[in-house]
Amino acid sequence: MAEVTLPSTETPSAGVVSAGTAGLAGGSGRLLRFDRVERIVHWANATLFAIVGSTAAILYLPPLSAQVGRRELVVTIHVYAGLLLPLPLLLGILGPRYGWRLRADLRRLNRWIPEDRTWLRRHGWHQERIVGLKQGKFNAGQKLNAAFTGGAILLMLATGSVMHWFKPFPLEWRTGATFVHDWIAIALFFTISGHMLFAFADRDSLGSMLTGDISQSWAKRHAPRWLAEEIKARRDVTSSSRPSVVNPSRAATPSSAPAEPLPKPADPLSKTVEPVSTGAEPLPKPADPLSKTVEPVSTEAEPASPPTGPANLDQEAGPARSGPVPSPLNVVPEAVPTAVVAEAGESEPDP
């Protein structure tokens, strides 16, 4: 009987919307915004920034320095926390299997679209001014913040190294490194504070950095272009991996007539090869040269032809005679040499 595949009766969980129902849930489903690797990298960097910022405040503000004391220990913690800042991001990027979403989001942060310039002109931090704007996963403000923070980490790492290991560097380098390091730290304080204020103002966005997923309704308001990309990608995956489904109402029923058995396949090893007829006659068997009989050569002399003398000529030329024909041996030529007669007499014995 033919095998029938029935449609699945499983319902997607209340968490992230399944691939087959993405975009069909009417905005009530959930989308994966940040995976576990991205969340770990984000919170590891946030922890290191908190350590660096707090130790910097203790070192630069005299009231805090007097309260905490142990300046050498605070300097050591500040230096090594700053050196570790790029490490979580590097580990997340270099992961061959687990870092592909992080690399994809970094490409989105580095790619600007025309809607980003519109977002800046309309002061997109006011949500009512960008209604209907097809933003991607990240808006222009988030892209600027990510670019500045990444560059600031490198500058702080370089200038902090010159300030801490100052002996190989001249005085001008140490002075310039201190100036750049201090002002970059102040700028980072304001940008990170603004980032935290926006995060606390948008609870859905903050929750996505904790749990990883976000509602489709939020994506439709803040990132409609990214929502369309996710729906298209999930539909492509579903269409490529969906099994063939048979309508239950048209399912094949077993027939009353018995099915004919399939012919047994022939065994290729037992198959005999018939000789191919070419239509040509068989060649004769060659004679064995060793079995060929040699015929004896006859030594008997053939009878000599009758001499053509004048008597014969006369007989052939004259009219036919009655009676027996004389034998050519009894005809004596008219003049026979004596020597020939003698030889004939010697060769024939007397009777």
Distance, CA of 199 to CA of 42 (rounded, Å): 13
pLDDT at 305: 52
Encode pLDDT of 10-66 as tens digits: 333 344 443 334 333 444 588 999 999 999 999 999 999 999 999 999 999 999 989
List, as one string, the DSSP characters of 324-341. PPPPTTTPPPS---HHHH
List, for residues 305-319, the tens digit of each pLDDT value: 555 444 443 444 444
Q: Does some domain include residue 194?
A: yes
Number of folded domains in the chain?
Answer: 1
Domain that holds residue 140: 35-117+135-215
The pLDDT value recorded for residue 76 is 94
3-class DSSP assignment, residue 31: strand
User: What does each C-alpha distance from 160 to 147, 153, 173 come to in angstroms?
Assistant: 20, 10, 12
Q: The pTM is what?
A: 0.60
Is a pLDDT exceeding 90 seen at residue 193?
yes
CATH number, residue 79: 1.20.950.20
Instruction: Give 58's contacts (C-beta < 8 A, 6+ positions apart).
Output: 64, 65, 68, 74
Q: What are phi and psi of 118, to 5 degrees?
A: -65, -40
261 located within any domain:
no
In a domain, 76, yes or no: yes
For residue 186, being part of any structural domain is answered with yes
| Separation of alpha carbons 217 and 227, rounded Å | 10
Burial of 325 from C-beta contacts in 10 A (0-12 / 13-18 / 19+): exposed
Classify residue 43: in a domain, yes or no.
Answer: yes
Report which of residues 211 and 273 the model is more confident about: 211
The pLDDT value given to residue 144: 95
Nearest CA to 216 out of 203, 231, 201 is that of 231
Tell me what pLDDT residue 239 has.
76
pLDDT at 296: 52
At 95 the pLDDT is 83
Within a domain: 171: yes
Q: What is the pLDDT of residue 49?
A: 95
Averaged pLDDT, 96-119: 92
